[in-house]
Amino acid sequence: MGALEQTARAKPDSVEAQLMLGAKRFRCGQAAAALEPLRIASRLSPGNSSAYFYLGVSFLALDREEEARNAFKRMAALTPPDEDEIYLLSRGYSKLSSALLERLHEVAPDSYRIHQVEGEYFESQNRSEQAIEQFKLAARQRPELSSTHYSLGSAYWSAFNSDQAAVEFREAVRISPQHYMARYKLGMILLEQNRPADATAEFREALAVQPGLADAHFGLAKALLQQGQPTDALPEIERSLDIDRGLVPAHYLRYQILRKLGRDAEAEKELVRFKELKSKGTLPALSEPVQR
């Protein structure tokens, strides 16, 4: 590792040096430290798919799934527009994924990672109770990891058990104060509990770490509106829509804010836009944070 660090410092414009350092840090369990050299490598060589791959898995290690998805999308976009090649690569990666899971069972059959894999499988099947049980086992094995509590909290949240979800998200934040997704989800729960001031604090903490998270701007706007602050809420909802124009609930919230501000003509236009998007069945999926 020391030699790679020295090489990367001596050759800051070397794609190979930055990529090798980032990959090595990831493999040594230093996902957060891997991000900087990998970002440098991707900027120096935007066509280097390996940089995006290691960025993606490093983001996954940090529970930053939206950014991971964005990195993998960029990697996929580098594939030549050949339907046969894309199909075969897709099948190949699927086979590799299966082989890696088999390997995981071989090398760590009783590990918390196995419980996470099984929990994720049950989640994909909408089997919430089984997913929660697997994530509980993972958290018991590795209670010092924010990721195990975040996964368990997310499973509770999906099962509409907000109280238990909040417990796990708070624990994730206690362990990793910069875990912005745990803070965002905790903020949404606090809104449900009619605690907009507490929710505001969580959304601001999340945005201090990741200002490109559209959903956190949406949550902050909603919290501010509930506290009778439509003037402060407006720039937050507009920032949310700047990042993700398809975030359907944000259009309705902007309509409500504009009505509170007495800007009725603009509000009616926003309501029309909301109804158009809703009629098309556009879903309010989690947005991908804009890279800083």
Contact, 152 vs 116, CB < 8 A?
no
Q: What is the CA radius of gyration of the chain?
A: 21
Count H helices, E strands: the chain?
Answer: 16, 0
C-beta separation of 258 from 267 below 8 A: yes
- Write the CA distances from 91 to 3, 97, 150, integer angstroms: 37, 10, 30
Query: What number of other Cβ atoms are within 10 A of residue 273's Cβ?
Result: 17
Domain at 177-292: CATH code: 1.25.40.10
Q: What is the pLDDT of residues 41-70, one digit of tens each?
A: 999 999 999 999 999 999 999 888 888 999
User: In this predicted model, what pLDDT tens digit does every residue of 183-207 receive, in sequence order?
Assistant: 999 999 999 999 999 999 999 999 9
The letter for the amino acid at 287 is S
Tell me the C-alpha to C-alpha distance, in Å, between residue 260 and each of 230, 250, 264. 7, 15, 9
Share of the chain above pLDDT 90, in %: 84
Write out pLDDT tens, residues 93-103: 999 999 999 99
Q: List the single range of 3-12, 117-126, 234-243 with lowest mean pLDDT.
A: 3-12
Q: Which fold has domain 110-176?
A: 1.25.40
Q: How confident is the model at residue 292, as a pLDDT?
A: 33
Comma-separated ranges of CATH 1.25.40.10 domains in the chain: 2-78, 110-176, 177-292
pTM summary value:
0.83
- Kindly state the average pLDDT of the residues 106-122: 93
DSSP 189-213: HHHHTT-HHHHHHHHHHHHHH-TT-
In this predicted structure, what is the pLDDT of residue 148? Answer: 96
Report the Cα 122 to chain-centroid distance in Å.
20
**Superfamily name and number for 2-78:** Tetratricopeptide repeat domain (1.25.40.10)
Six token digits for residue 126? 């909408």
Q: Which pLDDT does position 287 carry in this prediction?
A: 40
Question: Counting every residue, how long is the chain?
Answer: 292
